[in-house]
């Protein structure tokens, strides 16, 4: 198998890598670039733990080939905070204890960020359906939904 040379942008930085044609973006991020914030919970797009944003679209990085990232802009959890300034969603997840084990948290934060960028004032129902692609087994989602509601308020005021 011949490797595919890819030039892309990840969290604002130019990145180049060589990957196999069947290698997923998730494998590239985790195994080649050391960006292990995106998690593999299923590898089939059913859990959302590997969520990243590609050219403004929320996707499961396990369902994107590494080769497809050529010329695109990829955003991962590692790029969510600005320096030592947490994103309001990150801060609210901490304050509301919206995580227990934390394995789903990076995916939820990315999905919630995408949700609030597209809909800054979501109803509870819109939050619940907007985050339905992210599985959490610890929290029962209650505190996650509250954290997103609270972050939305903060972000509107900002």
Least separation in angstroms between CB 157 and another protein: 21
Least separation in angstroms between CB 7 and another protein: 14
Nearer to another protein, 109 or 152 (CB): 109
Q: Is 29 exposed, middle or buried (0-12, 13-18, 19+ CB in 10 A)?
A: buried
Least separation in angstroms between CB 48 and another protein: 6
Quick one: CA torsion of 131, 135, 138, 139, rounded to 10 degrees? 10
Nearer to another protein, 81 or 121 (CB): 81
Nearer to another protein, 65 or 152 (CB): 65
3-state secondary structure (DSSP) of residue 47:
coil
Asked if 131 and 108 count as a contact pair (C-beta separation under 8 A), the reply is: yes
């Amino acid at each position: 198998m011949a490797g595919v040379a890819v030039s892309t942008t990840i969290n604002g930085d130019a990145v180049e890598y060589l990957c196999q044609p069947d290698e997923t973006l998730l494998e590239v991020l985790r195994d080649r670039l050391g960006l292990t914030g995106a998690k593999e919970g299923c590898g089939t797009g059913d859990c959302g733990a590997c969520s990243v944003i590609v050219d403004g679209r929320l996707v499961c990085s396990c369902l994107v080939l590494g080769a497809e990232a050529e010329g695109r802009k990829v955003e991962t959890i590692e790029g969510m905070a600005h320096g030592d300034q947490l994103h309001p969603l990150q801060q609210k997840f901490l304050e509301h204890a919206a995580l227990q084990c934390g394995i789903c948290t990076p995916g939820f934060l990315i999905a919630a960020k995408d949700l609030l960028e597209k809909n800054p004032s979501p109803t509870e129902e819109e939050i619940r359906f907007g985050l339905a692609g992210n599985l959490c087994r610890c929290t029962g989602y209650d505190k996650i939904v509250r954290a997103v509601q609270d972050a939305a308020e903060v972000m509107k005021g900002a």
